[in-house]
Structure formats: C-alpha cells, structure tokens
A = this chain, B = another copy of it.
Amino acid sequence: MGDTVKYLLDESEMPTQWYNIIPDLPQPPPPPLHPGTHEPIGPDDLAPLFPMALIMQEVSTESYIDIPDEVLDIYRLWRPSPLYRARRLEKALDTPARIYYKYEGVSPAGSHKPNTAVPQAYYNAQEGVTNLTTETGAGQWGSALAFACGLFGIDCEVWQVAASFEQKPYRKSMMETWGATVHSSPSPLTEAGRAILAEDPDSPGSLGIAISEAVEVAAQNDETRYALGSVLNHVLLHQTIIGEEALLQMQMAGDTPDVIVGCTGGGSNFAGLSFPFLREKLAGRINPTIRAVEPSACPSLTKGVYAYDSGDTAGMTPLMKMHTLGHDFVPDPIHAGGLRYHGMAPLLSHIYELGLIEAIAIGQTECFTEALQFARTEGIIPAPEPTHAIAAAVREALACKESGEEKVILTAVCGHGHFDLASYDKFLSGDLVDFEYPEEKVAAALEHLPTME
C-alpha cells in the first residue's frame, strides 16, 4: 500500500565495477583521428590532455573496470541513488503502464555528472596533475568538476558559455564555493577566445568554443590537463554505475523494462542508464526497446549526419566519427543547455548505426508541460534535460492507456532543476516557445565538416 515506492540498495550492494560495452558489440567503433594527419590517434596523442589511466580506459577492451576504493568512498556520499516507481504520475495519467525512474539529482552537484567528475579528478590527482580545465554550458558539469576537484585538492578552471554565465550567475557562485575559477567564454585568455571576440565582441559563446579554450590552456601547460563531461568512452564508462544499480533495483522491483528512455546531449546519461541493460539484451536475457530522446532544436542523432567531425569549434580535438550537426552549428537557446551540443558520443552514434537503439526528438514545450505534471505528482522538479526523458516516458505510458498494454517503462531523471527555475517561470508565463529544426543553419554547418581524403 502507499503511493511512494522507492527501491534503495544497501551500500554493500553498490556496484564496484564500471561496464565497458565495446567488447560486447558486434563491431568496434571507428577510431578517432588526428585532426592534422587524419591518422588514427594513439594514447600518446592524448597525453597532453588526459592522464594515462583515463586514456587507457578510453581504449580499453576489458568488459569491466574496477572502480578505485577512493572513488567508491566519495560515491557513497550520495550513492547508491534511489529508483522510484512513479505511482502518483501513473495515476494522474490513468495508465496501465508501470513507470520507473532512476534519480541522480541526489548528488551534491545535483546531477549524474559527479559519477565521472570524481574518477576524472582522482586519476588526475594520482598522476600528479595539479590543474584541470573544462567547459560548461548549463553549469551541471562545471559544478560537478569543481566539487570533485575540491575533494582532491586540484585547481579547477572552468570556461562557462557566455550566455549561461550571464543568465545563471548562481552556477558560477556554486563552482566558486567549491573553490573553482570561472571565466565567461569566449574569453580574452586564449587564442581561440580572442579569435571569436575579434569577430563578435558580444558572442554568446557555445560549448564548442568553450571546449576550444579549455583544451588550449591544458595543451599549453605541463601540469594542467583537461576534463570532458560527456562524449568520450571513459565518460560513458563511468556513468554505467547508473544502469548497473538500476538493473539490481529493477530486480528488487520484480519487473523487467519493456522500454528504456533517456535524454541525450553528449550521451553520457543515456549511455550510463542503458548500456548495462543493452548488455543483457545482447546476451538475450531481456529484450527492451532502448530509445534516446533529444531536443528538436538540436537533434544530432535523428537529423545529423554520421561523419568524422571535430569535437570543438576551433578544430583542436581529435576527429570523431559521430552523428553531428556540424562543429560550428550553434543551437537555438533552448533551456536544456546540457543538450545543446552539435555532436553525439561516438560510441552511442556507432550503437545507433548498428540499430541497437532508437532515437526521437521532442520540443521543449511538451517537455515542460510533462515536467510540471511530474513535479506536482512525484514532488521532484526535474532539470530541463531530463524533462525530455519524462516527456518520452509519458508518451509511452499514454500509448499503453490506448492499447491497454501494461508495459514497464524505465527512465532516468538525471538532475534536479533548482538552477533552472527561470525556465519554469518562462513556461508558466506562457513565454516558452519551441524552436523549429534549423535546417538551413545545419546545412551551412555541415559544409564545414573536415574533408576526409
């Protein structure tokens, strides 16, 4: 009895290994290429940017990688995270479907990002790195890295996309409270930033530009490395703790998901939730539909091309084969800042090409409509990013209401919306609009893809 149904693992049941899906795939993903030579890059090429332990995880062919004790110790500050059954939402929808959501907003930074920020800070500290640089859009990743660096005594320098720096001053304060230094990007501190500012002194910035700045500073300083909050294999790897926990919690619930939906920006939250379930699916033990949900305004999987492209605007990163809208595409200012990235994780892109997952795009007004209902039934105010996952779960649940099917739907609410209430305010005032898919802007950006001979 009761409408609150929460599945909690004991600390002793917390997974102690991350899952690497690559060895279980029918084909390995295409390699990253050097941006100058277009030859596959090796570990040494990445050494100026990342500590060797993370580079080795990036190219690992092991199925499981032990989580260091020091990382597990910090994970325990908030992990294992809860899995809820959304009974109050189900009632409001009058659906026979059973909706479960994994909630990652319980971390100190309020999202799933600390799952990878903590090991990234740890491995850097282990190898004597004293300074880390990174970029942040909505601020979730910068906050997570600031938190993690604080715990390991690493100086953290964050380039925050100018538009977000202006609109979300409290994210900056949060990063500074944890000891980080925050710059508005584009900044006059880097060549990449100065080049953009010379063209447009009022540039609102973009994730691609901010990455260029953070990478430039890391590449030029021996004791400084760079940290990325999504896209790369090792980041997706660290996030699999979400899905590994969810697998155990679904067993506690005695239910098997028929549909798994998750929001995708760079892809780390979606991969983290779904890869352990995809492993079970590839092994023939379960057979869920697995569906990525992206914003209509930045639909890299559903509308982008699958091609080698740069991860940043200035072309400093390795070229990665991925679904991309073009590295100089600047998405419309939707409220899910964490989903405003021109590309999709190469590993997820590859898995999508293999036909192992589906993808859909949803506009933000539908997302906020469902988020409001979620907040008023489940009590949690979701960040704009997971409102996409919630909207997709609701679509599925309403389809079940039509068909009478009792499907089991699993999703993840990857963060809370405490720093995003201006977006809710805009929605409640009726001022939030959907942006059309910007066909011409994407076509123009795709003309600038690197030419592969």
Contacts and interface: CB of A to CB of B under 8 A. Distances in A.
Interface stretch (A49-57, A201-209, A326-334, A416-424): A416-424
A428 interface: yes
A372 interface: yes
Contact of A173 (B172, B377, B428): B428
Interface bracket on A: 35 or more
A92 to B, nearest CB: 11
A3 interface: yes
A125 to B, nearest CB: 14
A379 B381 CA distance: 21
A437 to B, nearest CB: 28
Contacts of A84: 77
A74 B376 contact: no
Contacts of A381: 108, 174, 177-178
Given A108-B380, A376-B179, A174 B421 contact: yes
A169 interface: yes
B73 A173 contact: no
Nearest to A106: B106
Contact of A177 (B108, B147, B172, B372): B372
A283 interface: no
A169 to B, nearest CB: 7
A226 to B, nearest CB: 22
Interface in A366-406: 372, 375-381
A173 B379 contact: no
A198 interface: no
A147 B69 contact: no
A208 B77 CA distance: 39
A48 interface: no
A76 B108 contact: no
Given A3-B73, A6-B77, A176 B380 contact: no
A169 B69 contact: no
B422 A73 contact: no
Copies of this chain in the oligomer = 2
A215 to B, nearest CB: 27
A233 to B, nearest CB: 27
B425 A173 contact: yes
Contacts of A74: 4, 379
B69 A1 contact: yes
A379 B147 contact: yes
B422 A170 contact: yes
A355 interface: no
Interface in A128-177: 147, 150-151, 169-170, 172-174, 176-177
Contact of A379 (B88, B108, B380, B419): B108
Nearest to A381: B177
Interface string A34-73: 0000000000000000000000000000000000010011
Nearest to A2: B73
Contacts of A178: 375-376, 381
Given A376-B179, A418-B419, A173 B4 contact: no
Contacts of A177: 372, 375-376, 381, 421, 424, 428
20 contacts: A2-B73, A6-B77, A8-B8, A74-B379, A108-B380, A108-B381, A147-B379, A151-B377, A151-B379, A170-B421, A170-B422, A173-B428, A174-B424, A176-B428, A177-B372, A177-B376, A177-B381, A177-B421, A177-B428, A418-B419
Q: Which 5 A-B pairs have the closest CB atoms?
A: A173-B421, A2-B73, A170-B421, A108-B379, A4-B76
Given A4-B76, A173-B421, 6 more contacts: A4-B73, A77-B84, A147-B379, A151-B377, A174-B421, A177-B376
Interface of A: 1-4, 6, 8, 11, 69, 72-74, 76-77, 84, 88, 106, 108, 110, 147, 150-151, 169-170, 172-174, 176-179, 372, 375-381, 418-419, 421-422, 424-425, 428
